[in-house]
Amino acid sequence: MTDLIKPRDLDFLLYELLDVQALCEHAQFADHDRETFDAVLETARTLARDQFATHAAKLDANEPTFDGERVHLIPEVKQALDAYIEGGFLGTAFAPEHGGLGLPYTVSQACAALFTAANVGTAGYPFLTAAAANLLRIVGSADQQARYMAPMIEGRWFGTMCLSEPQAGSSLGDIKTKAKLRDDGRYEITGTKMWISGGEHDLSENIVHMVLAKIDSPDTPPGTKGISLFAVPKFRVGDDGSLGQRNGVKLAGLNHKMGYRGTVNTVLNFGEDEPCIGELIGPPNQGLKGMFHMMNEARIGVGMGAAAIGYAGYTASLDYAKHRPQGRPLTDRDPTSKPVAIVEHADVRRLLLAQKAAVEGGLALCLYCATLVDQLEAGIGNTDEHRQLLDILTPIAKSWPSEFCLEANKHAIQVLGGYGYTRDYPVERYYRDNRLNPIHEGTHGIQGLDLLGRKVLLENGAAFKLLVREVFHTAKIVMLDDALAAEARALTDALGHVGRVTKLLASELAAGRAERALANATLYLDTLGHVVIAWLWLKQAAIARPAMNHATDADRDFYAGKIAACRYFFRYELPKVPMNVALLERLDETTLRAEPASL
Amino acid sequence: MTDLIKPRDLDFLLYELLDVQALCEHAQFADHDRETFDAVLETARTLARDQFATHAAKLDANEPTFDGERVHLIPEVKQALDAYIEGGFLGTAFAPEHGGLGLPYTVSQACAALFTAANVGTAGYPFLTAAAANLLRIVGSADQQARYMAPMIEGRWFGTMCLSEPQAGSSLGDIKTKAKLRDDGRYEITGTKMWISGGEHDLSENIVHMVLAKIDSPDTPPGTKGISLFAVPKFRVGDDGSLGQRNGVKLAGLNHKMGYRGTVNTVLNFGEDEPCIGELIGPPNQGLKGMFHMMNEARIGVGMGAAAIGYAGYTASLDYAKHRPQGRPLTDRDPTSKPVAIVEHADVRRLLLAQKAAVEGGLALCLYCATLVDQLEAGIGNTDEHRQLLDILTPIAKSWPSEFCLEANKHAIQVLGGYGYTRDYPVERYYRDNRLNPIHEGTHGIQGLDLLGRKVLLENGAAFKLLVREVFHTAKIVMLDDALAAEARALTDALGHVGRVTKLLASELAAGRAERALANATLYLDTLGHVVIAWLWLKQAAIARPAMNHATDADRDFYAGKIAACRYFFRYELPKVPMNVALLERLDETTLRAEPASL
């Protein structure tokens, strides 16, 4: 079986581009070295290939069912997850004192990419569990961590995130779920949550729902400022951690999606027939604080997932293109000559280069953000700067791969033609799966508002200025290499365009003209995203150029591919930056002014 | 139920933009007038809504099955098709002497759009049948027309197109199906055909397969010049048209697709166990000629289908956006205020305008091409010019909606958010269905080669020059209206860019540098497509401007929407033209030079 994510490329990104092994020089990661990273990645790769990828198509075709009592999943899911837990993957990024392996978040995210590429449906359960455990790590008391987090890292209990409600998806301030204080200090939860992945199943002994609700009190402020966070277990938990009776959280129904079919997606009722007891996590009315911390990592995780699914489509279509004979070169007019592999056709190469540029670029961005998380949490280097870069890059890391690696999945189908459109090949599944990523964890549009309406302005634009400095610094150095000087210049030009329009939009915002300034925030997000991806491609090409001189044949091909994809991105994609900036600079109001009745 | 395609818009396109009623002034359509057109369209709309749309989701969820003997379909398909046949829709565009209604092809295509928007799976069967009948109309003898075509137009028999084989999809010259002359003048057919829609079912008394095969003779030239066309019925047909014994064409298996699930898609074996008898249609080795004539209409039909599916997504998401409350205006910071309908958010309007511009633009293009077919076939006006315009516009009409109305379907899901990603709403189905259109009837890449490598060069560039003149003529007139002068200028600028690069690419081709000239043919196709769609939007806006002055309130909103969508397209989409032209002018070889080993 072809590797879904090229091992050579993952090595390149981790060790040549991001220098992840350098993290081991610092106290927090001193127990590790490149060898342990490689061993974990190799185990993940094997597990993903042998236990996850093997049932991905079957799980997609046989989505979870609900018989009114229980949720049924094909048995391969539990087998795969048992092996995953056995391998310690639930705790890769948790500290040893929490029962984890204490690996850098970056390495843990690289593993996540491997599992996602193999089978996003099965991978969803432990990913959600790790996210819930991480939330408890951030805002839970030591007691709560012992009670809820430890069994999750052990893999005995699974977790969920319960944010959305039928009437409140993007607007969390409008949630209606209520929490009423009981005499014992716990809360009774009532309400309905929607889109809850992993909300009900028999994969684990217990499920811990992390639930946003509003405390039923006159002191609770309206909107997002009145949201609190609760741990609501499926089975009640004694102080000693023992499992008690069933809690009043019930499955109301399953959502049936276009993709991501393997991860059961539920509507949950809290406290409908029986009392549902929850425990307040963190201070009252501060529920979104910890959630946002967790959500930032979740957003990088979404981008990583989008890049991974895009990558799986890229390698599948590349493999097909190299082995499918059809057609002849344009210069060959002899109909009796042997057909060539379709990878020889220029348009097929375009479809492959477009995918490569998107998926390797997207993966680079998400792994880079993961290194910022590591450096920030371990206090390495200038943590203020890491935080600022992470702030401004998070909406891009979430959105850019979600948009452009989905486009890559579209191209993968095109390479396979009619075959790609059938369920006999995985590329149509990737295309369906990846369509979720621009929607969940904050839609594409919301990321645009977050970037332009918040992140760009924070601390008087400090994060944006820092990003510009970083990009400019790379371009300045690469300019010295004649072979990449044109690309370096194009990047500084693009940076100039974006800098100019950012200043303009910031001044509009400062002047209180938010509607007009933010009308095209999504376009701004895509545009700054293109600059960031171009930057990461230039960095990759700049590493590849000298490395080619002393490389083996296979490595020379690999590096040549990096340079080709960089050139592709600069020639086919980067020109969108000045084009979009021209529109943004006009403060275009076409969308604002279009009356609903005229649409 | 919301109309899937707005009746007011279809009226506008047919009567205000394309002046279809003027066709009735000519002999061929003298029996008709706008009233008969309207009556047919209204019947189609009712039928599509009450009999087609009603089981579209059910058919998608319950795709045809094969029990080894027979293909099973949900009963609603036959019920709907019986009503369709009863309504005379199989023969809308056929002449009365052939049993048809003798309506313009344009009106027939407008009906097709309505049925496709409602249920592409069920609509597939009669569409294929009409295409097969049309092929017989073009190349069949009177005797063959009586035997095979007449029962198809009556709806008693259905038809298929058997072109592709497992090893030969885009490269028809490589087909292996053989036809061996028998003593009785008929042929014995042996081989395997792939991707055959409607290849087996019990919906009709007989199925007539139109099969491409090579005559088993030393005189048969290699490649496409040795392809002949045969009619191969499922049940043999006596000279008097009576049904005889089962012919040796057998269902080998079903293909399971991501979308278009309702139209059974088959692998057919010819002459495997029992002899399969076929009848030569047209002269030997001339099989592609008639097929190409038919295929041109089929390609316009693909574009029409893509626009129709895109349109259904647009109206569904517009309806949702007007009724789903969520979030507040950016200027409203009171969390207790009532949420607004999401259509009030600028980014949602952007997603709606992008859809509107794509689907109404794509529909306009396909209907315009259909009027050219009508004028050409009825000998109205300058038929040389109609043929030239049709030649150059066909690859665009096939491809532009397939690419950009699929993008529209992506936006429709985004408007609905998580709900749009579920199978409870139709937009995810549209997205899956529409993904086929850039693949079948000649892939996007092949259309690019057809346009730039053939159509643009034909008759010393006559068709391209004519198209430029037409577009320029519109722009020149519209320039006089101050409110649209900026758009008119932008269009002439874009036209100048495309004209320049076309000259360059043509000279490269003339100099024998085909590989380099055609390396970015797909991009050229998209670019010229954008100019054509901009042209049709400018025409629409130019009609809407004065019409607003005397319009009812509802019509004023309608016309305002046309102007808004025109502006949207010119501001957000047309700037891609100079961007792409810059790349094309550089004769970029990035894709040509990328070595497969480096990908």
For A304-317, what is each residue's pLDDT tens digit?
999 999 999 999 99
Residues of B in contact with A225 (CB under 8 A): 335
Provide the pLDDT for residue B384: 97
pLDDT over threshold 70, residue A1: no
Tokens 């949420």, residue located: B339
Specify whether the CB–CB gap between B585 and B500 falls below 8 A.
yes
Provide the pLDDT for residue A170: 84
| CA distance linking residue B152 with residue B129, whole number of Å | 6
Q: Please answer yes or no on whether A168 and B225 come within 8 Å at the CB atom.
A: no
Size of interface A-B (CB pairs under 8 A): 276
From A441, A487, A508, A585, the catalytic residue:
A441
Specify whether the CB–CB gap between A124 and A262 falls below 8 A.
yes
| CA distance linking residue A113 with residue B307, whole number of Å | 36
Q: Please answer yes or no on whether B557 and A597 come within 8 Å at the CB atom.
A: yes
The chain A residue lying nearest B575, using CA atoms, is A579
ipTM of this predicted complex?
A: 0.98
Q: Please answer yes or no on whether B174 and A336 come within 8 Å at the CB atom.
A: no
Provide the pLDDT for residue A292: 82
The dihedral sign for the CA sequence A543, A545, A548, A554: positive
The chain B residue lying nearest A164, using CA atoms, is B418
Chain A: closest CA distance from residue B328 (Å): 9
pLDDT over threshold 70, residue A35: yes
Q: Please enumerate in sequence order all residues whose Cβ is within 8 A of that of A529, keeping only pairs 6 or more positions apart, or say none.
A: A396, A399, A400, A403, A404
Residues of A in contact with B347 (CB under 8 A): 445, 448-449, 521-522, 591
Q: Which of B421, B513, B576, B580 to probe the A interface (max A CBs under 10 A)?
A: B421
Instruction: Look at A66-80, A172-186, A485-499, B286-300 and tell me which has the smallest mean pLDDT.
Output: B286-300
SS3 A241: coil
- Among B258, B417, B583, the residue with its CB nearest the CB of A169 is B417
| CA distance linking residue A226 with residue A288, whole number of Å | 9
Helix (H) or strand (E) holding A397: helix A383-416
CB contact A549 to B (< 8 Å)? no
- Among A449, A520, A561, the residue with its CB nearest the CB of B598 is A561
| CA distance linking residue A170 with residue B418, whole number of Å | 10
Provide the pLDDT for residue A294: 80
Provide the pLDDT for residue B2: 80
| CA distance linking residue B509 with residue B350, whole number of Å | 40
Residues of B annotated catalytic, as ranges: 441
Q: Which of A421, A451, A515 to probe the B interface (max B CBs under 10 A)?
A: A421
The dihedral sign for the CA sequence A594, B1, B4, B7: negative
| CA distance linking residue B402 with residue A55, whole number of Å | 33
E-strand stretches of B116-215: 157-162, 178-181, 187-197, 206-215
Model confidence at A429, pLDDT cuts 50, 70, 90, reads: very high
For B298-348, what is each residue's pLDDT tens digit?
999 999 999 999 999 999 999 999 999 999 998 888 999 999 999 999 999
Catalytic site includes residue A441: yes
| CA distance linking residue A242 with residue A236, whole number of Å | 8
Provide the pLDDT for residue B584: 97
For A403-427, what is each residue's pLDDT tens digit?
999 999 999 999 999 999 999 999 9
Q: Please answer yes or no on whether B424 and A256 come within 8 Å at the CB atom.
A: yes
User: Any idea of the CA torsion for B150, B154, B157, B163, to the nearest 10 degrees?
Assistant: 60
User: Any idea of the CA torsion for A580, A581, A583, A587, to the nearest 10 degrees?
Assistant: 140
Find residues 402-461 of chain B whose CB sits inside 8 Å of chain A: 406, 410, 413-414, 417-418, 420-424, 428, 431-432, 435-436, 438-440, 443-445, 448-449, 453
Residues of A in contact with B255 (CB under 8 A): 418, 422, 424
| CA distance linking residue B453 with residue B456, whole number of Å | 7
Q: What is the CB neighbour count within 10 angstroms for residue B461?
A: 16
- Among B322, B572, B586, the residue with its CB nearest the CB of A583 is B572
Provide the pLDDT for residue A331: 86
Both tokens assigned to A252? 């109301």
- Among B173, B318, B588, the residue with its CB nearest the CB of A335 is B173
- Among B195, B341, B514, the residue with its CB nearest the CB of A418 is B195
The chain B residue lying nearest A414, using CA atoms, is B439
Residues of B in contact with A521 (CB under 8 A): 347
What is the DSSP secondary structure assignment for residue A384, as one 8-state letter? H
Q: Please answer yes or no on whether B339 and A222 come within 8 Å at the CB atom.
A: no
- Among A326, A346, A519, the residue with its CB nearest the CB of B519 is A346
A521-547 helix and A458-478 helix, angle to the nearest 10 degrees: 30
Q: Please answer yes or no on whether B327 and A432 come within 8 Å at the CB atom.
A: no
Provide the pLDDT for residue A283: 96
| CA distance linking residue B125 with residue B205, whole number of Å | 13
Cα distances from B390 to residues A61, A310, A378, B376, B443, in angstroms, run 43, 38, 66, 9, 19
CB contact A513 to B (< 8 Å)? no
Weakly modelled stretches of chain B, pLDDT under 50: none
Nearest to B111 by CA among B34, B47, B26: B47
Find residues 113-172 of chain A whose CB sits inside 8 Å of chain B: 164, 167-171
End-to-end Cα separation, chain A, in angstroms: 49
Provide the pLDDT for residue B1: 66
DSSP A446-498: HHHHHIIIIITTHHHHHHHHHHHHHHHHHHHHHTTSHHHHHHHHHHHHHHHHH
The chain B residue lying nearest A351, using CA atoms, is B591
Provide the pLDDT for residue A543: 98
